[in-house]
Amino acid sequence: GKEYIFVSNIDNLGATVDLYILNHLMNPPNGKRCEFVMEVTNKTRADVKGGTLTQYENKLRLVEIAQVPKAHVDEFKSVSKFKIFNTNNLWIALSAIKRLQEKNAIDMEIIVNPKTLDGGLNVIQLETAVGAAIKSFENSLGINVPRSRFLPVKTTSDLLLVMSNLYSLNAGSLTMSEKREFPTVPLVKLGSSFTKVQDYLRRFESIPDMLELDHLTVSGDVTFGKNVSLKGTVIIIANHGDRIDIPAGALLENKIVSGNLRILDH
């Protein structure tokens, strides 16, 4: 009895069932139902590697960066040429999947992705991108959705953002605080001391107030006390062999903290 399936990446915390999109699927304005809908959102400088939609032979196609010849990679990354990218939130008609599967007509390109394992061994990972199936379906559509529907947590830098007071959980959806003046997310770069979740959690006695943060870079052996506030641009760099402990209750606004806890205006 099910008609559509909603597919999203497991790390995308912004991917929830959107009733507006579902209504569009069930009650299309032109009376012709879509078999495949891909949610796309506006590209920023942080998303230059994201796959994009193109039209070829009257069908929509997903183009991934791994498929682009090196000579054209900069063109692919251009924010002005390709203004949207694939969130990998997909709505697919189950009847269409069945029809195509029975005909063995879902033709997916193999993407060759070179990787390096932890031990230093170079390997080739062969992938198929689920969004690439869009070209096999009839009446496909890309829907430009708000950035809030794309909130991936792949690193501890991403995790810090969603654990902070920038977001709250309402009815199963993460929403940005109304107290934040800008709808954009701060740029956060945590160094290698924060890569593993257990190390990351050990370095924060509590998650800092980040409502007014624009940019945070942390490098080296750094820990944060309770109730720290970060505003504007904050750069904290502990030199090799040094340790920096940000004291409880500290307010860092447009500061560079380096070496032996020298705090400078940014």
Nearest to 64 by CA among 7, 121, 132, 123: 132
Ranges of H-type helices in 13-153: 19-26, 73-77, 94-102
Phi, psi torsion values for 83, nearest 5 degrees: -90, -15
Decide if 36 contacts 141 (C-beta within 8 A): yes
Residue with tokens 């496909």: 140
Task: Tell me which amino acid residue 93 is.
Answer: A
Question: Could you tell me which residues are beta bridge partners of residue 7?
Answer: 90
154 catalytic residue (yes or no): yes
Coil/strand/helix, residue 69: coil
List the end-to-end C-alpha distance of the chain, in Å, as a whole number. 60
Q: Which of 49, 98, 154, 196 is catalytic?
A: 154
Evaluate whether 145 touches 41 at the Cβ level (below 8 Å): yes
Strand order of the β-sheet with 251-258 is 187-190, 213-219, 229-237, 251-258, 262-265
The CB density around residue 216, as the number of other CB atoms within 10 Å, is: 22
- 122/120 Cα distance (integer angstroms): 6
Stretch (H or E) spanning 157: helix 156-163
Residues with a catalytic annotation lie at 154
